[in-house]
Amino acid sequence: MDSWSKMMDWKQMADKYINQNFFPNQQENEKSGPKVNIYESENELLCLVSLPGLKNIDDVEVYVYKSSIKVIGNTTIHTHGMSLKQNEIFQGRFEREVTLPYSVREDPIEAYYQKGILYIRLYRLLTDDRSKKKVEVKYYPD
């Protein structure tokens, strides 16, 4: 048995003994939800969310607000009677919120799911950052 296997056995015993995860930061990262990649062009963002095991598109909800995106859902990977020995692929209920590099428009937003990846296409909210200009009103008597 190698050193890594011994350490993992020890960790499992420690987790069982204290009835919680002995290395909470590692567990927190694993359970934070699916992985997200964000790609940017001049006026567009493409968010890719890794969702293997999504059986029904109704099991995922996407919310966009200003400069953030929230994905809520549930993924399940069925292994037909086998027990889990190593867990790296996220599965289960999740709620993942990601800050975007800039504010995005409410419309159009395109989202589709293909081969385990949720694709969300967003467009930059173009705003005019110029300050308001006060217009001087002149009075001309009759």
Q: Domain for residue 82, yes or no? A: no
| Pair 38, 100 in one domain | yes
Average pLDDT over residues 89-112: 90
- Cα distance from N-terminal residue to C-terminal residue, the chain: 102
Tokens standing for residue 76: 């399940």
- Whether 122 shows a pLDDT value over 60: the answer reads yes
What does the pLDDT read at residue 134? 61
| Pair 53, 13 in one domain | no
In the sheet with 92-99, reading across from the earlier edge strand, the strands are: 60-65, 68-75, 92-99
Give the chain's radius of gyration (CA, Å): 24
| Pair 96, 27 in one domain | no
What does the pLDDT read at residue 26? 46
For residue 6, the enclosing domain spans 1-31
Between the CA of residue 54 and those of 3, 7, 81, what are the distances in Å?
36, 33, 19
% of the chain residues with pLDDT over 70: 71
Average pLDDT over residues 120-129: 84
User: Which residues, in sequence order, are CB contacts of 90 under 8 Å at separation 6+?
Assistant: 30, 31, 33, 34, 35, 50, 75
| Pair 43, 53 in one domain | yes
| Pair 94, 113 in one domain | yes
Q: How many CB atoms lie within 10 A of CB 28?
A: 10
The pTM assigned to this predicted structure is: 0.66
Confidence of residue 127 (pLDDT cuts 50, 70, 90): confident
Average pLDDT over residues 105-128: 89
What does the pLDDT read at residue 126? 82
CATH number (domain holding residue 45) = 2.60.40.790
* Digit-coded pLDDT (tens) for 57-97: 888 999 999 899 999 999 888 888 888 888 888 888 999 99
Q: Total domain count for the chain? A: 2
Q: Domain for residue 96, yes or no? A: yes
What does the pLDDT read at residue 92? 85
